């Protein structure tokens, strides 16, 4: 038995919130599994022209980083941690978000934006990177996801 | 092939943590898909009488908001951002949490609380809004979810 | 119809981020459901020798705790809240993370670490607790998860 399709929802707007979904989509394509990425809420940042290149690590409220709150809150902490992560990821051949989204789209994965959030944030099609295939309602997402696994990240 | 059932777990206690699960449940019912909502950990706030009307946006540790940490931490920031989101959502006909939970229950979706968390927080049946159908163990949740998709939000 | 297998991904490094996955895995085994835990990103803390015993509650950026940001940020707040949760959980017979992971492994559940994150954090097999069965790529994870539900926590 094998997995035939994964539909991955990306809902968070931090680097550590976006990468897991991208890595899972990319890994699925590498195995020949159909993959769709559906960006919603703050996850939309990963596919808007304006914000795609400026996603940061969450340095407060993330005890996994082992930083005291005051350290995570000083100006520049999030920036420094973000650069640190990006360098570490580059060393593992994991590209920055804009290149990674392009690479995943090139493998044939679908890249979608959630209609409710697009309306909530007052965005339109032109605000998105060209890899974005379509803006879908929740109902359209369910149709697309049928026959596979739904993964909410 | 179609999805027949979704079992959505709501585990976070912020506005941006609770809405995605509610929107997915509501969207499922609109497509005729069976939907169950299972509230656990801080997600329980969405269905307790005392807290349902007081859920806030997380303004720190959420780089997706594009607020500096100091701004997210000033008293009132979370309240102001919450009001802002609620106004934007109302304009899209997405109701506040109490009305939304009632509306979803009215579509025939199941509304459940996680027994382990109910015990952890020292709550009892009477602390919940009347839409809450039952308090379920993890094992009972798996029985309910069989034959569908599990979505953890 | 019953669920035959659950593959639970644990991606967060806070107490409130790790427990839901452990509780779902343990609950699955109690019902005779095959269960695999896959630790990734900050979730790896739950199975490293050095950090397994030092996981804390996220006290900032978590409006579900109903603490003002300044209170969550004072030194010791996270420590105090963590002790409070651990005492409440002990009263419900939910063990601390190290014992809980051991107990779940003893039920026959698989305990896996995500290769990309292991490389990212510069870890090696010897850094993990003995319950960790193997380090898996995303592709290997999908093979393992086939025929069951994927739950990302």
Of A50-54, A74-78, B76-80, C110-114, where does mean pLDDT reach its minimum? A74-78
The answer to whether residues A40 and A10 touch, using CB atoms and an 8 Å cutoff, is yes
CA–CA separation, C96 and C11 (whole Å): 18
Q: B92 vs A13: CB contact, 8 Å cut-off? A: no
Q: Is the pLDDT of residue A110 over 90?
A: yes
End-to-end CA gap in chain A: 24
pLDDT tens per residue, range B113-153 = 999 999 989 999 999 999 999 999 999 999 999 999 999 99
Q: Is the pLDDT of residue B20 over 80?
A: yes
Q: Is the pLDDT of residue A138 over 90?
A: yes
The answer to whether residues A129 and A49 touch, using CB atoms and an 8 Å cutoff, is yes
Neighbouring residues of C76: CB distance < 8 A, sequence distance ≥ 6: none
Q: C152 vs A151: CB contact, 8 Å cut-off? A: yes
Nearest chain C residue (CA) to A9 = C152
Nearest chain C residue (CA) to B142 = C3
Q: State how far residue C87 is from chain A, nearest Cα, in angstroms.
A: 19
Q: What are phi and psi of B61, to 5 degrees?
A: 70, 20
DSSP string across chain A? ----EEEEEE---SHHHHHHHHHHHHHHHHTT-EEEEEE-GGGGGGGBTTTGGG-----SS-GGG---HHHHHSTTHHHHHHHHHHHHHHHTT---HHHHHHHHHHTT-EEEEEHHHHHHTT--GGGB-TT--EEE-HHHHHHHHTTSEEEE-
Q: Is the pLDDT of residue A73 over 70?
A: no
Which of B43, B77, B120 would best serve as a mutation to test chain C binding (most C beta carbons within 10 A)? B120
The answer to whether residues A122 and A116 touch, using CB atoms and an 8 Å cutoff, is no
pLDDT tens per residue, range B23-48 = 999 999 999 999 999 999 999 999 99
pLDDT at residue number C76: 73
- Evaluated on CA atoms C56, C62, C68, C73, the torsion sign reads positive
Q: What is the pLDDT along chain C (153 residues), one digit of tens a residue?
A: 899 999 999 999 988 899 999 999 999 999 999 999 999 999 999 999 999 998 888 766 677 776 666 666 666 777 777 888 888 888 888 899 999 999 999 999 999 999 999 998 999 999 999 999 999 999 999 999 999 999 999
C-alpha C35 chain-centroid distance:
13
pLDDT at residue number B78: 75
CA–CA separation, C24 and C22 (whole Å): 5
Confidence at B75, pLDDT banded by 50, 70, 90: low
Q: A23 vs C138: CB contact, 8 Å cut-off? A: yes
Q: How far is CA A52 from CA A13, A102, C101, C149, in A?
A: 10, 11, 37, 31
Q: Is the pLDDT of residue A83 over 70?
A: yes
Burial of residue B32 (CB within 10 Å: 0-12, 13-18, 19+) is exposed
Q: Which of A26, A63, A153 sits opposite C152 (nearest CB)?
A: A153
Q: Is the pLDDT of residue A24 over 80?
A: yes
CA–CA separation, C71 and C13 (whole Å): 21
Coil, helix or strand at residue B113: strand
pLDDT at residue number B77: 73
pLDDT at residue number B80: 78
């Amino acid at each position: 038995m094998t997995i035939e399709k994964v539909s991955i929802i990306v809902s968070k707007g931090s680097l550590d919130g976006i990468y897991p979904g991208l890595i899972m989509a990319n890994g699925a394509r590498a195995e020949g599994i159909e993959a769709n990425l559906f960006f919603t809420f703050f996850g939309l940042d990963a596919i808007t022209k304006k914000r795609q290149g400026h996603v940061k690590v969450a340095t407060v409220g993330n005890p996994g980083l082992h930083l005291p709150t005051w350290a995570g809150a000083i100006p520049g902490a999030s920036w420094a941690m973000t650069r640190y992560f990006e360098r570490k990821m580059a060393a593992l051949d994991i590209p920055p978000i804009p290149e990674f989204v392009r690479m995943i789209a090139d493998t044939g994965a679908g890249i979608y934006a959630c209609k409710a959030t697009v309306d909530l944030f007052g965005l339109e099609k032109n605000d998105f990177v060209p890899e974005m295939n379509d803006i879908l309602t929740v109902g359209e997402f369910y149709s697309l996801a049928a026959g596979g696994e739904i993964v909410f990240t």
